[in-house]
Structure 1
Amino acid sequence: MASNQPAPEAPSPFRSDTVGGEERTWEEWNPTEESIRPVRGRHRVAKQRGLARSSTVLGVGVIAAVGAGGMATAQSKPPVSISLPDSIADNLPDAKSLPGMSAFMSDDSDAGTGPATDASPLTTAGITAAEAEQGATDAGEALRARILQQAEQQQAGAAAEAKAAEEKAAAEQAAAQAAKQQSKAEADAAAEKKAAEEAAKKKAEAERLAKLAASYAVPTSSYTITTAYGQAGSMWSSGYHTGLDFAAPTGTPVKAVHSGTVKSAGWSGSYGYHTVLVLDDGTEVSYSHQSSMDVTAGQKVSTGETIGRVGSTGNSTGPHLHLEVHTAGGSAVDPMSWLRGKGLTV
């Protein structure tokens, strides 16, 4: 006979115990409810899951964190395993589905079908193709080589600039030296030309005077110059000597210095016997203190012809010829300079 027994009660989530005479009730812990703290940063979890699958991905992360200098250290460390609860791990996306991650993931099942992955060591990161062709295998050595190459290029540039400056200075010095030599050569040539011109001028003047001297003559011979033109003294009424004195023995011939016409010939007071000769150009030459005269007024004479004799007539202290020269205008000139200007030696 069946009996109606009450159905068993569902187990209560609450439980009661007696502690120290007091009854206490506890709620049974259900780990599937909200007591589990939600996981934040889902993208970070996915990255950790991918790192757990491959040590190569871990190496890539280390490279991104520490740069080329720590690649060798990262390569020497063992892979790190990261485990997550299944309730979280099951909801994470596959690491291969993340952008840029499939190239770093490799499984045995994809060994023959996936694209080939570059198996270069991490220490070669940052090495250029040219450096790789030259045999560079270490980033640090490659960087060091680049720095040394740059330093060598800078030194070569500085040396080239210094050499260019030296060449420029040498060229400027050579140009200055050449200009100096050219200036000296021009100065020497100008001096030689001037000297040649002066020599030619002197030669021409000598030739002219020689030719002119042939038509002029010294007024007397065997003479001594005693008193020059312009010499001051109380003996002369003008206060100075107006002619040139040729001291010579009495009777020494007096000659015409150039061809001309006798203007006057006779006694002239303090001048004694006095003769005036007018030359072809109008110059007047007078002869004083003669002892005698051999010409008369209006007579034409030639160069060197005797016109009188040396004496001491008039205002004289001894036998001598007093010679005076006046231009056509009547101005007195120094007889010494005039005679020498005609090429005569007095």
Structure 2
Amino acid sequence: MASNLPAREGTEIQEPPTAGAWGEWNPTEDSVRPVRGKHRVAKPRGGLARSSTVLGVGVIAAVGAGGIATAQDRPQVAISMPSLSDMPALLGGDAPDDNVQHADGAGAAAARTGIIPRQADGAADAGEVLRNRILQQAESQQDAAEATARAEAERAAHEAAAQEAKDKLEAARKAAEDAAAKAEEKAAQEAKAAQEAAEAKAEKERLAKQAGSWYLPTSAYTLTSHYGASGSMWSSGHHTGLDFAAPTGTPVKAVGAGKITSAGWSGAYGYRIVLELEDGTEIWYCHLSSMAVTSGPVAAGETIGRVGATGNVTGAHLHLEVRKGGSTMDPLAWLNSKGLNV
């Protein structure tokens, strides 16, 4: 039991009142016998039992009688109550057996002397502990705040680095796409140029080949009347062929391989030879002075007749007509298409 009332040295311990009065009781070695064990109860001889509770009440009553006046003016101190085993020594009896375990040593000494030590620095120690705890909590909070700030800074740095890497990757991808597009466009242009060059070369070779297999109808000539010229000299009102003025007897050749389908007199055309080429195009040779081949196949460049002035003419010349499907076409353009430089 704890109490705020300090014990006074020399205060006599009274036994609890019986029948309305206080009776003095001083236990002796003969009346109090030590009891071993956790719970010990002293039984005086004569049959009167005294318990620790009754004895405690007597001690508290004795202490309260002398110190109640000053209890409010003194700080609270801890009171250690003696155990039952210490009571014989406290009251003048012999000490108990050495094998009996006592309570706290300090409490027993205080009980023997009647003086309870005061813990003057307890409040200061508690304040220091509280202060240390507050400082530790503040440091912990500061460390947590710094760790959070560092984590946020690292996160921001990682995000910035990731964004920068993403931007660089996007720029590199766009640059690669632009380079690929330019390369593709350049390749397309080069392919187109190569194709055009190949086509031009093929056309040139074709014309050269045609020039080797196509021949001008005569030589040593002068062009006098072109296709489509108008005038009263022609029954249709315009010229239907191309005139090669040349001396009479100048050889006339087949412009290409084919066959002679007609040869003879043809009115205003004079002596005429009709050469049909492999594609069905007809070449008319008119105003001839003579005819060397009048039927059958002929080779390109073969002489089939000679220049003359027969029919409706004003001078010796070869009137050359080109017809396809019964319609006339410009002989000059047709000869040029065969690679012939007229």
Instruction: Return the TM-score normalized by structure 2.
Output: 0.54
Map residues 41-80 of structure 1 onto 2, 5 A cutoff: none
Structure with greater Cα Rg: 2
Q: Does 1:218 align with 2:220?
A: no
Counterpart for residue 174 of structure 1 = 172
Counterpart for residue 253 of structure 2 = 255
Q: Distance in 1 between matches of 2:168 and 2:228?
A: 67
Counterpart for residue 334 of structure 2 = 338
1:182-214 superposed Cα distances (whole Å, 9 cap, x missing partner):
112112212222222333333333333333333
Q: 1:240 aligns with which of 238, 241, 254?
A: 238
Q: Distance in 2 between matches of 1:308 and 1:95?
A: 159
Q: Is the alpha carbon distance of 1:269 and 1:168 closer, same or farther for their aligned partners in structure 2, counting shifts above 3 Å?
A: same
Q: Does 1:120 align with 2:117?
A: no
Kindly state the Cα deviation for residue 242 of structure 1 after the two structures are TM-superposed. 1.6
1:131-189 superposed Cα distances (whole Å, 9 cap, x missing partner):
579xxxxxxxxxxx859x849956982x6655554543443333222212211211221
Gaps of 5+ in 1: 1-85, 97-106, 134-144
Kindly state the Cα deviation for residue 108 of structure 1 after the two structures are TM-superposed. 4.8
Sequence identity percentage: 51
Whether the 8 Å CA contact 2:275–2:282 is kept in 1: the answer is: yes
Q: Distance in 2 between matches of 1:218 and 1:198?
A: 29
Q: Distance in 2 between matches of 1:125 and 1:211?
A: 106
Q: 1:302 aligns with which of 290, 293, 299?
A: 299
Q: Distance in 1 between matches of 2:143 and 2:150?
A: 21
Q: Distance in 2 between matches of 1:207 and 1:304?
A: 20
Whether the 8 Å CA contact 1:217–1:304 is kept in 2: the answer is: yes
Whether the 8 Å CA contact 1:265–1:293 is kept in 2: the answer is: no
Kindly state the Cα deviation for residue 219 of structure 1 after the two structures are TM-superposed. 0.3
Aligned partner of residue 127 in structure 1, secondary structure: helix
Q: Distance in 2 between matches of 1:296 and 1:127?
A: 128
Partner AA of 1:214 in structure 2: G
Provide the aligned C-alpha RMSD in A: 4.2
- My pick for the range that moved more, 296-305 or 115-124, is 115-124
Q: Does 1:109 align with 2:131?
A: no
1:262-285 superposed Cα distances (whole Å, 9 cap, x missing partner):
223333232233221223443221
Whether the 8 Å CA contact 1:245–1:320 is kept in 2: the answer is: yes
Counterpart for residue 67 of structure 1 = none
Q: Distance in 2 between matches of 1:241 and 1:215?
A: 28
Q: Is the alpha carbon distance of 1:280 and 1:125 closer, same or farther for their aligned partners in structure 2, counting shifts above 3 Å?
A: closer
- My pick for the range that moved more, 331-340 or 174-183, is 331-340
Q: Distance in 2 between matches of 1:176 and 1:196?
A: 29
Counterpart for residue 316 of structure 1 = 313
Q: Distance in 2 between matches of 1:311 and 1:187?
A: 61
Partner AA of 1:314 in structure 2: G
Aligned partner of residue 205 in structure 2, secondary structure: helix
Whether the 8 Å CA contact 1:242–1:324 is kept in 2: the answer is: yes
Whether the 8 Å CA contact 2:273–2:291 is kept in 1: the answer is: no
Whether the 8 Å CA contact 2:293–2:305 is kept in 1: the answer is: no
Counterpart for residue 140 of structure 2 = 129
The total of aligned residue pairs comes to 232
Whether the 8 Å CA contact 2:241–2:320 is kept in 1: the answer is: yes
Q: Is the alpha carbon distance of 1:342 and 1:167 closer, same or farther for their aligned partners in structure 2, counting shifts above 3 Å?
A: same
Q: Is the alpha carbon distance of 1:108 and 1:244 closer, same or farther for their aligned partners in structure 2, counting shifts above 3 Å?
A: farther
Q: Distance in 2 between matches of 1:253 and 1:95?
A: 157
Whether the 8 Å CA contact 1:266–1:274 is kept in 2: the answer is: yes
Partner AA of 1:335 in structure 2: P
Partner AA of 2:222 in structure 1: T
Q: Distance in 2 between matches of 1:285 and 1:305?
A: 14
Q: 1:206 aligns with which of 175, 184, 204?
A: 204
Aligned partner of residue 193 in structure 1, secondary structure: helix
Q: Distance in 2 between matches of 1:260 and 1:336?
A: 20
Q: Is the alpha carbon distance of 1:297 and 1:250 closer, same or farther for their aligned partners in structure 2, counting shifts above 3 Å?
A: closer
Counterpart for residue 44 of structure 1 = none
Kindly state the Cα deviation for residue 127 of structure 1 after the two structures are TM-superposed. 1.4
Partner AA of 2:303 in structure 1: T
Partner AA of 2:323 in structure 1: H
